Amino acid sequence: MKYLTIVEILEVAEGHVGDYQFLNEERLHYLVEAVSAKFGDTELFPNLFQKAAVYAHHIITGHIFLDGNKRVGLTCALRFLELNGYSRRLNIDDSIIDLGFKIADGTITDIEVIADRMQSWIL
């Protein structure tokens, strides 16, 4: 399995907001560890869609950047899925935007629910 690096996440941020600024840089470092975290031999987020959900959720709710967290979080989630061989459906932009707002406003907080939504975006 391939994971996004800090550099790759920052490239996404730069692509969305240009000269990005950190609000909580330490949460970015936490995120790259959390997505692959284990308790003993058991992964905390065992499937690919849960891991993608962690990228989106942690960037959006952790307010890692001063601006663009929803865009960066969702793009990182999709990029992670693509990096691991998945392609997204076309014409799902409204669904992606809706999920971003629901994560941001706390309507959806459960990683499983986010993962299920993301799985529906895949071909």
pLDDT tens profile 39-87? 999 999 999 999 999 999 999 999 999 999 999 999 999 999 999 999 9
Q: By the 8 A CB rule, do 73 and 97 touch?
A: no
| CA 80 vs CA 21, 33, 99, 107, 113: distances in Å | 22, 14, 17, 24, 18
Domain of residue 64, residue span: 16-119
pLDDT of 123 higher than 90: no
pTM of this structure: 0.95
Neighbours of 83 (CB within 10 A): 14
Domain presence at residue 11 = no
Across the chain, what does the average pLDDT equal?
A: 97
| Structural domain total, the chain | 1
Domain presence at residue 63 = yes
Residue linked to tokens 């865009």? 71
CATH number of residue 51's parent domain = 1.20.120.1870
Residue linked to tokens 């693509």? 82
Q: Name which of 65, 81, 86, 80 is nearest 13 in CA terms.
A: 65
Domain presence at residue 3 = no
Domain presence at residue 115 = yes
Domain presence at residue 50 = yes
Domain presence at residue 1 = no
